[in-house]
Amino acid sequence: MPRYKFVVEYDGTPFVGWQTQKNGLSVQEVMEAAFLALTGEEIRLRGAGRTDTGVHALGQVVHADLARAWRPDVLREALNAHMRPNPIAILLAEEVPDTFDARFSAIRRHYLYRIVNRRAPLTVDAGRAWHLKRKLNAEAMHDAAQLLLGEHDFSTFRDSQCQATSPVRTLERFDVSKYGEEIQFRLSARSFLHRQVRSMVGSLENVGSGKWKARDMKAALDAHDRRRCGPVAPPDGLYLTQVDYGEGVQVEDDGD
């Protein structure tokens, strides 16, 4: 059975997340329905990251095994047609070895979080960024974010429903930059705990607004206590932007 890798973009606003659930429509459900309509096969897709309700993706990666070979560009176009009008698009389709696994072969995941920091309400970016009226200090947030880099027990920033076997993760990048009214948080790691990104961004907002100092962020991290976490940032501003791969690497990830 040939295996195919798909790079997928979606607006997470109308979905309960990537993974199929009983409480609403998921990205996985829409994609699997498209495969069924096209191929007549009940395909079970595996995604690189289990994005949560309302979280977006610019570079989610999915793999599927099909009964027969398809030309990748034909497969991409046909599946996109079957998924309309849902806001999901396959950007790239390619055949890969059967050793490739969208989730377990991943060696790095990259996320972007967007805050629009202005008084006026959002229009174009409504549902696609966190709108905050109070002025934030992006430089202070960047400095505090650097204290989270490296290997740590991230229990403070781990959702209570997280199913990961260990709270220890290695955060490779956490940059905070300001572009006019927009503040961008860019993070990279092999894997993230459930809602870890949103928990860290929400806590950094405390630093940006002056409620916390950088030392308070470090104290929250070192406490290994979920009760020390700041407010969890809403899903609107979170994007899974890219997934990097290396052969044969087995990585646990609970997504965000």
Residue 252 has pLDDT above 60, yes or no: no
List the beta bridge partners of residue 64. Answer: 4
pLDDT tens column, 44-83:
999 999 899 999 999 999 999 999 999 999 999 999 999 9
Residue 254 has pLDDT above 70, yes or no: no
Residue 103 neighbours by CB distance under 10 Å: 20
Tell me which of 11, 52, 216, 236 is the catalytic residue: 52
Residue 91 has pLDDT above 60, yes or no: yes
Average pLDDT for residues 27-40, to the nearest whole number? Answer: 97
- Are 3-96 and 107-245 in the same CATH fold? yes
Q: What is the pLDDT of residue 160?
A: 86
3-state secondary structure of 151: strand
What is the distance between the alpha carbons of residues 229 and 32, in angstroms, rounded to a whole number? 37
CATH of 107-245, one of 3.40.50.12280, 3.30.70.660, 3.40.190.10, 2.20.25.90: 3.30.70.660
CATH of domain 3-96: 3.30.70.580
pLDDT tens column, 96-118:
999 999 999 999 999 999 999 99
What is the distance between the alpha carbons of residues 106 and 103, in angstroms, rounded to a whole number? 6
Preceding omega of 85 cis (within 30 degrees of 0) = yes
What is the distance between the alpha carbons of residues 134 and 181, in angstroms, rounded to a whole number? 12
List the beta bridge partners of residue 21. Answer: 24
pLDDT tens column, 159-179:
988 888 999 999 999 999 999
Tell me the pLDDT of the chain averaged across its residues. Answer: 95
Q: What counts of helices (H) and strands (E) characterise the chain?
A: 5, 10
What is the distance between the alpha carbons of residues 228 and 231, in angstroms, rounded to a whole number? 10
pLDDT tens column, 200-227:
999 999 999 999 999 999 999 999 999 9
| 222 has catalytic annotation | no
What is the distance between the alpha carbons of residues 56 and 145, in angstroms, rounded to a whole number? 22
Q: Where are the domains of the chain?
A: 3-96, 107-245
Do residues 35 and 67 lie in contact, with contact meaning Cβ atoms separated by under 8 Å? no
Please name the residues in contact with 253: beta carbons below 8 A apart, sequence gap of 6 or more: 48, 49, 50, 103, 106, 109, 190, 191, 192
- Banded model confidence at residue 255, pLDDT cuts 50, 70, 90: low
Which strand (E) or helix (H) includes residue 243? Answer: strand 238-245
Average pLDDT for residues 24-36, to the nearest whole number? Answer: 97
pLDDT tens column, 114-131:
999 999 999 999 999 999
Q: Return the amino acid letter for 172.
A: E
Q: How many CA atoms lie within 13 A of 154 on its CB side?
A: 29
pLDDT tens column, 182-198:
999 999 999 999 999 99
What is the distance between the alpha carbons of residues 85 and 76, in angstroms, rounded to a whole number? 15
